[in-house]
Amino acid sequence: MPTISIRAHGMSASKWQQLVNPVTGEIMKQTSTQAPERSNTNGWTANVARRNEQTLQQIDFDAIDGEAAFVTLTMPKQQMADVSSEQFHKWLNAWLVYIRRRGMRHYYWILEFQASGNPHLHVIVWLSDWRTGGAKRGYVHHRWDVVEQYRALAYWAKRLNADGVAAKVDAQNFQMVELGQSPTVDGVTLESATPERLLMYLAKHAARGVAHYQRQIENMPDDWQFRSGRVWGHDRGLPLREQEDFETDYPTFWTFRRLVRRWVCANASKMTDDDKHRRSIVSARRMLRCSRPDVSPYRGVSAWLPASVASQLLDAAEAMGGDYEED
């Protein structure tokens, strides 16, 4: 039977969500039988990309204290051949320790590569104010203003410079993000930032999967292709909301897919940027297309949308009783 999985900021629906344990006969989720790929991975695989996107969709923004900020960290591409993945991850861990000591509550990072082989770190951090000093000297209250943001970027450059890599502070980016506003993150303007759009940008090319050039092994430095280390991660305390799974019949499954497509098209039509509007509409209209007649009726659907919307669409599909016929 088809299964619809609803998460805090997205959903997926597919015929192939469940497997039967041949020993016990127990019905299991397919993802539960696939062990997560740890630090000794070879970059972005299909399983790594899927787990990353689904974890992002589970982040519980309502349970997180602190202000969100989007950070992009990079290094000079001409020195990439001299940097191993182990060294790069040491820089990342040192930077996260520095930020944690200055009020960071949670973080989520993703590592991707440009066509030149240069790695980019995209990080969401949730920050709060902090104090330094003591009872004798008096406490000093610190806020995450532009000075502290600059210091955080300067610390990254300092760590790289200490290892002989000529990183520059102005090549990094630190942007506080307020939901409902339109911040410019890493040179890209997010229209009316919602949790879904912020996470979609962090996922970046999740919809394109491992085929996108920033995730192809060929665009990684030679040493990284055999041992890249983890390409995404978050702190253990990051609040995640468990997904809800619903089994449906096929008429409801097909109706639900088409309702999701309608919602995605309507949401894309709200974009004011002409180029983004056009590309989003085209993508939304094609999201259910499949050239294989034997696969088309069972083709799953995946979308970024609030859990409340997904639940309402499922209720509507059940109420309609599968009135829509599959194309």
Could you give the percent of the chain with pLDDT greater than 70? Answer: 76
Could you tell me the pLDDT band of residue 183, with boundaries at 50, 70 and 90? low
**The amino acid at 43:** G
Where b means 16+ CB within 10 Å and e means fewer, 201-218 reads: bbbbbbeeebebebbeee
Distance between CA atoms of residues 283 and 240, nearest Å = 28
- Alpha helices, H only, 269-320: 274-285, 307-320
**The amino acid at 165:** V
Question: pTM of the entire structure?
Answer: 0.81
**Three-class DSSP labels, 66-113:** CEEEEEEEECCHHHHHHCCHHHHHHHHHHHHHHHHCCCEEEEEEEEEE
Domain with residues 54-234, CATH architecture: 2-Layer Sandwich (3.30)
Q: What is the pLDDT of residues 202-222, one digit of tens each?
A: 876 444 444 454 445 555 666
Q: So where are the chain's domains? A: 3-9+248-320, 54-234
136 touches 144 (CB < 8 A): no
Q: What is the pLDDT of residues 79-136, one digit of tens each?
A: 777 788 888 889 999 999 999 999 999 999 998 877 666 778 899 999 998 877 765 6
